[in-house]
Amino acid sequence: MINRITNPLYLLLGLSLFATTLKAANIPTSKTTDHYRLETRVDDVSIPWGMVLLSDGSLLYSERKGAMYRIGADGKKKKIKGLPDIVAKGQGGLLDIHLHPDYANNGWIYYAYSSPEGKGRGSNTAIARAKLKNDQLTEQQVLYKASPNSTRGHHFGSRISFDKQGFLYFSIGDRGDRDTLPQDIKLDGGKIYRLHDDGRIPKDNPFVKDASAKKAIFSYGHRNPQGMAKHPQTGAIWTHEHGPRGGDEINVISKGLNYGWPVISYGINYNGTRFTDITHKEGMQQPLWHWTPSIAPSGMVFVTSERYPEWKGHLLVGSLKFGYLVLCKLEGNKVVSQEVVLDKLGRVRNIIEAADGYLYVATDNGKIARIIHTAP
């Protein structure tokens, strides 16, 4: 009888199959951490979400529980007043923050939160803007509020970005209603949206001529996008979104396209059963990259700073599940490989490249830190 455990042929075959599985599943395996260290900026944060660096060198950040703070260059912490009514439940609360591209001149700060306003019990994602004066939000304007509200506490999406033309993009997740919302352009949820910076609907949005559609929708068929960034060369908006058990995706967002959720997916239900038998369908976009099993991605940034020569020109993605940063290496408009570049961070909630050229990473273990390149 052949012993399949100790027989060299079977061992070799097993290792080969294992390596092939890793490659096919897009699991990052290598680590290059020697040349980087973390310098803590804030160490008592309750589940950070959004963060931006202001022109005076202070760091503005949100806590999911419904609070916003500013840490000055001197290290002093101030709580921001004037926030709207926020429902902090489950994955909802005060979420992303983003500065207007011309913030230096107009002072507009954009933020996402779960709002109880409008029809129905519970809450849904809202996008607002305001100006910050003496640690008080002023001139607040709600630009978009998804409806109706839901008592479900997950999949708010809520990432925010601007493209090169100054259009405002944001994500709203499927709110846990995968079989109804993502594929229906008459309903909010499971979508990427596009507005003018003041909340007006662009005349060339893809569904403005459909009387029954939500006019702000730019793309649909998404699950829960919690990463969004503008490509520094092409200006295209890239996102990543959570799959269920596997099937996390990176997508390049294009006007009016259907990204497939939940009709096609590389993931399965959390209990191991399948909700779809297909990964491809005509008229539905394939992801640029996917992770199976899931890494639970959150936060993403294109590295453009000279401070990180080994990472410049590539894409960084945070992992909630494994507590690491993944460097997705790019060739043109494609992800060609990946590697873990910093690990043992705790659940990575967000990663940004700030105006000072440093990368800042926020984790659920209560820290916001900047990444320092230490190589000679």
- Catalytic residue (one of 98, 100, 155, 242): 155
Identify which of 376, 364, 321, 313 has the alpha carbon closest to the alpha carbon of residue 93. 364
Contact status, residue 296 vs residue 275, Cβ threshold 8 Å? no
Is residue 280 flagged as an active site residue?
no
What is the spatial distance between Cα 190 and Cα 168, in angstroms, rounded to a whole number? 17
The catalytic residue positions are 155
